[in-house]
Structure 1
Amino acid sequence: LRLQRYSDAARAYRNAIRLDGDSATRQVGLGEAIANAAGGIVSAEAQVAFEAALKQDPANAKASFYLAMGLAQEGRAGEATAAWQKMLAALPPDSPWRGAVEQALADTASKSAAAGEPVNGPDAQAVEAVQQMSPLDRQAMIETMVAGLDEKLKQNPRDVEGWIRLIRSYAVLGKTDQARDALGRAINAFGAGSEEAKKFTAFAATLGLMATE
């Protein structure tokens, strides 16, 4: 029944666009209805609607968020992360979307998916749940996820991608000291002259980080 309501909403948005004219708000509503009708999957049809919204309103946060979520669902975690980071940098400090973007980044960064398994972004229900959380609860949840990744790396320090996720997670959370510490531990785990250490250093540089002496 709920999915049917979303399908009805998508039909209503299409009619509104056809009869009353196109707008970013209507395109975003259409894209969201299509995604919700598909159980939270940002399909190609939904992406077209969100992209149409951004053409009219490049700063539309909801459209940007869902497009990044679509990338994550396709297994393009790196591109999704880049899109969310770009979005986070452009959001006003008091934007209600900051929490959802930070959670999405931490979630994507901390997932240790099996090799070859797509890393899915949070679904529509997860986005809604995060937005309803208090700032303290949201921060606690994110920090718990990152702390779990940190602990895994203490047990298995030979995980290159894990270290990259941890460094990025701390950087996204604004914990620069912890990010630098993670970078230093990653380098020590493989040796300062190793290829892995060079990879860590180059990646950290893109975040404006340098290893501590």
Structure 2
Amino acid sequence: MIYMLGAILVAMVLVAFVVPVIRNRTGVVSHSESAQAMLNDQLGEVERDVARGLISTEDGRSATVEIQRRIIATDRRETLTSTPSGSGAWAMLLAAFFVPVAATILYLSIGSPMIPSSVFADRSEELEVLTRQDELTQRLFLQLSSEENGGATEGWLLLANAYMGMRKYDKAADAYGRVLGRDEATFVEFGQFAEALILQENGFVTPVAERALDRSLQMEPGNIAGVYYKSFALAQTDQIDAAYSLLTSRLATEDGLPAWMESYIAQANFYGEKLGKAPISLADYAPVLKGPTAEDVANASDLSVEDRNAFISSMVERLAARLEDKPDDLDGWLQLARAYTVLGDQDQALLAYRQAEPLAEALPDNDQRKALVRQNLQITK
């Protein structure tokens, strides 16, 4: 099939080149020839006007000279731009024949006409997946819409999450909105509904989205999505300081090191830059990264050195005892390791990091606790 198409293309190219050449050789009147004929007619017309007395002899002579000048100029242009009837025409014919033939031979020798383009193949597979997703979501939508009870809540949430993954935020908001009036709706669904609306508007918080955020925060004060997007609403009304304080206050209440803290800190620094504040970091809010410091240890300054050390050791022992009952507390092991490090007990710190290692390895690669454990185990080896 590919060879037949190639032959057809070669034939089309040959026809495109040969026909104009044949026409030029069979006496087709050129633009220059028609112009000269018109100018000759004008010469005759001038002579007749002089003979009838319509124009003076001097005007007729001037007009005749101008027309003759144009005839000479036209003839000169024709000489410069005309296609040679001999070698030039044959050169065009030879090029029209050999160029596509040479290209075809080269492609057949080094190309792969039967193998589809890898980019096209990848794109075809991607389009097939997208088409399949559209079919499944449309089928689920029709099924839920046709049910007498309005469709199961779990089904609408599944559909909404699928639309979010497909970046069809308007449809996701519609699906989330179907369950907001039900008794089982929680702050999560209100927050997800607001998020879909905000993403649909490229980060702008509409009045409907803000009301959903307020409802979400009313149901669960301090919830992650509600606080985050509420800061957007505040910033939109030039309440930058309030938006910054909202995020930093929520960060201050967190004991562990969840992944969402990085997004909070990045957004808070965005607001802080507008306010002229110094950048903040995870270490400012995450106890795992801060750990007990020398200042924390000095809180028992009224005690003697021996009593102070005993007091600190008892605190560490209580933490270690608690971890024996809750060995899956990754943040607790990291805090214990940091405490031992501050006290200068590297052996116990190493044991704590080893206890934390299997828990940290189960985390995503972008979780800083995983990198923290690996780094400290390498240092203590």
Q: Which residue of 2 aligns with 1:107?
A: 270
How many angstroms apart in 1 are the aligned matches of 2:252 and 2:229?
17
Structure 2 SS opposite 1:17: coil
Q: Deviations 1:3-49 (Å, cap 9, x if unpaired)?
A: 98211111111112235642111101111011111111112211111
1:40 counterpart letter in structure 2: G
**2:238 is the counterpart of 1:75:** yes
Matches of residues 188-203 of structure 1 in structure 2 within 5 Å?
A: none
Q: Which residue of 1 aligns with 2:75?
A: none
Structure 1 SS opposite 2:249: helix
Q: Deviations 1:114-170 (Å, cap 9, x if unpaired)?
A: xxxxxxxxxxxxxxxxxxxxxxxxxxxxxxxxxxxxxxxxxxxxxxx64xx23xx35
Q: Which one of the candidate residues 52, 57, 64 is aligned to 2:220?
A: 57
Deviation at 1:82?
Answer: 0.9
1:25 counterpart letter in structure 2: V
Is contact 1:84-1:105 (8 Å) kept?
Answer: yes
Pick closer, same or farther for the CA change 1:95–1:170 going to 2, 3 Å: closer
Q: Which one of the candidate residues 170, 181, 201 is aligned to 1:7?
A: 170
* TM-score (norm. length: structure 1): 0.50
Is contact 2:176-2:192 (8 Å) kept?
Answer: yes
Q: Which residue of 1 aligns with 2:257?
A: 94
How many angstroms apart in 1 are the aligned matches of 2:182 and 2:191?
17
**Larger relative contact order (CA 8 Å, sep ≥ 6):** 1
Is contact 2:170-2:197 (8 Å) kept?
Answer: yes
Percent identical: 20
How many angstroms apart in 2 are the aligned matches of 1:174 and 1:4?
34
How many angstroms apart in 2 are the aligned matches of 1:170 and 1:44?
31
Q: Which residue of 2 aligns with 1:37?
A: 200
Pick closer, same or farther for the CA change 1:59–1:109 going to 2, 3 Å: closer
How many angstroms apart in 2 are the aligned matches of 1:105 and 1:35?
18
Q: Which one of the candidate residues 179, 185, 209 is aligned to 1:16?
A: 179
Is contact 1:24-1:53 (8 Å) kept?
Answer: yes
How many angstroms apart in 2 are the aligned matches of 1:38 and 1:85?
25
**2:337 is the counterpart of 1:174:** no
Is contact 2:217-2:226 (8 Å) kept?
Answer: yes
Pick closer, same or farther for the CA change 1:174–1:39 going to 2, 3 Å: same
* TM-score (norm. length: structure 2): 0.29
Pick closer, same or farther for the CA change 1:4–1:104 going to 2, 3 Å: closer
How many angstroms apart in 1 are the aligned matches of 2:169 and 2:180?
16
1:85 counterpart letter in structure 2: T
Deviation at 1:171?
Answer: 8.4
Q: Which residue of 2 aligns with 1:200?
A: none
How many angstroms apart in 1 are the aligned matches of 2:271 and 2:283?
13
Q: Mind listing any 5+ residue stretches in structure 2 that lack a counterpart?
A: 1-162, 286-381
Is contact 2:177-2:193 (8 Å) kept?
Answer: yes
How many angstroms apart in 2 are the aligned matches of 1:27 and 1:41?
17
Pick closer, same or farther for the CA change 1:22–1:172 going to 2, 3 Å: same
Structure 1 SS opposite 2:168: helix
How many angstroms apart in 2 are the aligned matches of 1:60 and 1:38?
22
How many angstroms apart in 2 are the aligned matches of 1:170 and 1:94?
15
Structure 1 SS opposite 2:179: helix
Aligned length in residues: 122
Pick closer, same or farther for the CA change 1:95–1:171 going to 2, 3 Å: closer
Deviation at 1:68?
Answer: 1.0
How many angstroms apart in 2 are the aligned matches of 1:31 and 1:171?
28
Larger Rg: 2
Q: Mind listing any 5+ residue stretches in structure 1 that lack a counterpart?
A: 112-160, 176-213
RMSD of aligned alpha carbons: 2.8
